[in-house]
Amino acid sequence: MNSWIRRKFLFLYKYSGKWISWLLNRRRRKNRKIYKILLFCNSSTMEEHLLNYVEQVEEGPYQFYVFFGSGYADGAGHQLEDTLFRSKKIVSLVHLWQMFCRYWDLIVCADLDHPFWLFKGTIPLLYIGHGISNVSYDKGKTVYDYGPESYDENGEFLFDKVLEPNRRIAALMKESDRKFEDLICHTGYRFAGKIKEESEKGKQYREQFHLPADRPVVSFFGSWNRESLFHVLGEDLFPVCDRLKDQYSFIFSIHPREYQEYDTEVKPFGALVEQQREKGFLVRSPGEDWIPYIMASDVVVVDYSTMMSLAILAGKKVIVSEFPDEKVGTCSLAYQVKRTFPVLADASGLEEALKQVFEIPVFGKMAERFQEELYVSTEDYKKRVRKITEEMIAG
């Protein structure tokens, strides 16, 4: 009974807040000295993307606020000092009512969630995404950012504007439906400029990791779930790499979720990956920056996660682990890459795939074509994000 009362109270609390917010925000206020931007951060994986957004526009007349979602163990009470936002002038909100009872010029989200219940059109909503979308939840019809999860119960798109990193996908979505014409804003990938700069430091990072100069470096970047890289290649991968370690240097990196159980039917691979340190292999821990490891590599073995696109942006040769086509959108980069680069169905094919990717020069030209879909200079990216922010606030 108490649980029922609590749920009922929470519903009424949120519903009342929705109306309070509407009353405060129904009229756009222009020509103000400072504009208030609310950042909704649903988990730690969203932090770097929201921080990047702040860095593009922080020189403008904006005051930033952040609300931490249920993806944090301590929820809204999460400490700002324990996040990537700690060096920025950002105000942390710890109660829903603080959002209900304020006027907001813009709300920025990195995932397909809102910080609180809203009437459509009350406050401008900007979706910046949290990577390069390849994954599909409607059997390949669309990528995550434009699939079923991006619409509300009335069939309306959740956001007013979407930052799309891929030029080709932006064009295809606009061709598919006129509603995307004003909604999708092509910006290029937010970290493209940084990746280009870092890609020139490969030799430096190799020396940092004490990797032999006479051996190609092969890294494995796996995400999580049963279709991810390490689950597809299986435990046999490590003996194969051990047999080839006189020809290649190997690096292993796996998603943080693989360090704990997330499905009763899937055994996490995190502990097994960590054990490879004992055999002399280089292992990247989840909290470490991925850039030095991928830049030190000649070849990156990936699944259909964002790391596939990042490896291509970094100018690396790519090998893909097998995955069901229906897991990615047919217009996604992952769908194109799988039909271009070598694909591994199991660990036994690794040696042959490495020979293929090194010996066939056409892969380099194809990688350049994929890079063009995502690349944008740091300066141009900043200009585009600033312009979109200003236009949305201006109404």
pLDDT in tens, 154-168: 899 999 999 999 999
Our measurement of the distance from residue 10's CA atom to the centroid of its chain's CA atoms, rounded to an integer in Å, reads: 31
pLDDT at residue 282 is higher than 70: yes
pLDDT at residue 362 is higher than 80: no
The reported pLDDT for the residue numbered 7 is: 87
The burial class, CB within 10 Å (0-12 / 13-18 / 19+), for 42 is: buried
The reported pLDDT for the residue numbered 87 is: 93
pLDDT in tens, 300-351: 999 998 888 889 889 899 999 999 999 888 888 888 888 888 999 999 999 9
Q: What are phi and psi of 184, to 5 degrees?
A: -85, 130
Per DSSP, 65 falls in state: E
d(CA 352, CA 314) in angstroms, rounded, equals: 23
The reported pLDDT for the residue numbered 5 is: 81
Identify the three-state secondary structure at position 126: strand
d(CA 97, CA 95) in angstroms, rounded, equals: 5
Buried/exposed code over 72-81 (b: 16+ C-beta within 10 A; e: otherwise): beeebebeee
> Rounded to whole angstroms, what are the CA distances from 268 to 47, 95, 227, 263, 344?
25, 35, 12, 9, 20
Say if CB 87 and CB 18 are below 8 A apart.
no
Q: How large a percentage of the chain has pLDDT more than 70?
A: 99
pLDDT in tens, 215-252: 999 999 999 999 999 999 999 999 999 999 999 999 99
Closest CA to 255 of 227, 280, 225: 225
Structure tokens at 31: 């020509």
Domains, in order of start, for the chain:
2-188+378-394 (3.40.50), 193-374 (3.40.50.2000)
HSE-up (13 A, CA, CB side) for residue 216: 16
